[in-house]
Amino acid sequence: MYKLYTTKCPKCILLERKLKEKGVEFEVVDNLEEVTKMANSVGVSSVPFMVVDNKFMDYNDSMSCINSL
């Protein structure tokens, strides 16, 4: 399961668009409290990021993952 944590910033929008282009089913988490809570738990201070099958991916890792599909 793909979860995209987003604040709808330009990078967030790009990741969301790429996921849609690839036909990937994903959940968008855009509630600021939930995004902040997850960011704090994995030790990051920027969005977007994804969690795929319980594995955290920052923006660069997320893009690499999507581009390899």
Supply the pTM of this predicted model.
0.93
Q: Beta-carbon neighbour count of residue 46 at 10 Å?
A: 11
Tens-digit pLDDT profile for residues 18-30: 999 999 999 999 9
Tens-digit pLDDT profile for residues 36-63: 999 999 998 899 999 999 999 999 999 9
Please state the three-class secondary structure of the chain as a single string.
Answer: CEEEECCCCHHHHHHHHHHHHCCCCEEEECCHHHHHHHHHHHCCCCCCEEEECCEEECHHHHHHHHHCC
| Structure token pair of residue 53 | 């099958």
Q: What pLDDT, on a 0 to 100 scale, did the predictor assign at position 68?
A: 94
Q: What residue ranges define each of the domains in the chain, with the CATH number in brackets?
A: 2-67 (3.40.30.10)
Given a cut of 90, whether residue 5 has pLDDT beyond it is yes
Q: What pLDDT, on a 0 to 100 scale, did the predictor assign at position 51?
A: 95
